[in-house]
Amino acid sequence: MAYSIVRGPNNTVWGFWFSFKPEQMHLLAVAVEKDLSAEVQRDIFSNNYRVVPNTSNNQGGFWVMLDSRPAPGETLPKGKDRIYEYWKCPQCGSLLKKGRIDVALAGATFVGTATCGVCGAKFPQSDVYAGKYDVESPGKTDETAKKWWQFWK
């Protein structure tokens, strides 16, 4: 099994490169063999990774990027080290999942509006995908966000 570990700053594991399209069991085998951190193992167990064909060089294979880290060759908004999957509506505080992380990482320009599914407020998609309203994940935000039932009268 040919693979490499992709590391970021401070030797943090960002993902892997495999010579073939890996399944979850391959990722778990590497995580155990290399005694990788509990955070890496949690991301693998919870399917919090993306498998991306390698187009950044002529080595072929696949990148497996943990969390929402960019694969080599993918682009991020200026000043960001990842694109988060969730955004927080600035109007009502609801947490919403972004639709197309893969398109954002490919460097697409977004036009139009993103609409909060709870309060109906509209915001430029370019702001949402540039990370202006990003939150790490639904379980890692403040408790001031309103819940959907709080809007019922």
pLDDT confidence of residue 37: 92
Look up residue 133 and give its two tokens: 């309203």
pLDDT at 128: 84
Beta sheet of 134-135, edge-to-edge order: 95-97, 86-88, 134-135
| Per-residue confidence (pLDDT) for residue 148, from 0 to 100 | 46
The residue type at 135:
V
Report in angstroms the alpha-carbon separations of 103 from 3, 52, 59, 70, 91: 26, 12, 23, 12, 26
Nearest-10 crossing angle of helices 24-33, 38-45 = 170
Please report, in tens digits, the pLDDT of each residue of the chain (153 residues total).
799 999 888 888 989 999 999 999 999 999 999 999 999 999 898 888 888 888 888 889 999 988 777 788 776 656 666 667 788 899 998 888 887 666 666 566 677 888 998 999 999 988 887 788 888 766 544 444 444 444 554
Tokens at residue 30, please?
Answer: 């590497």
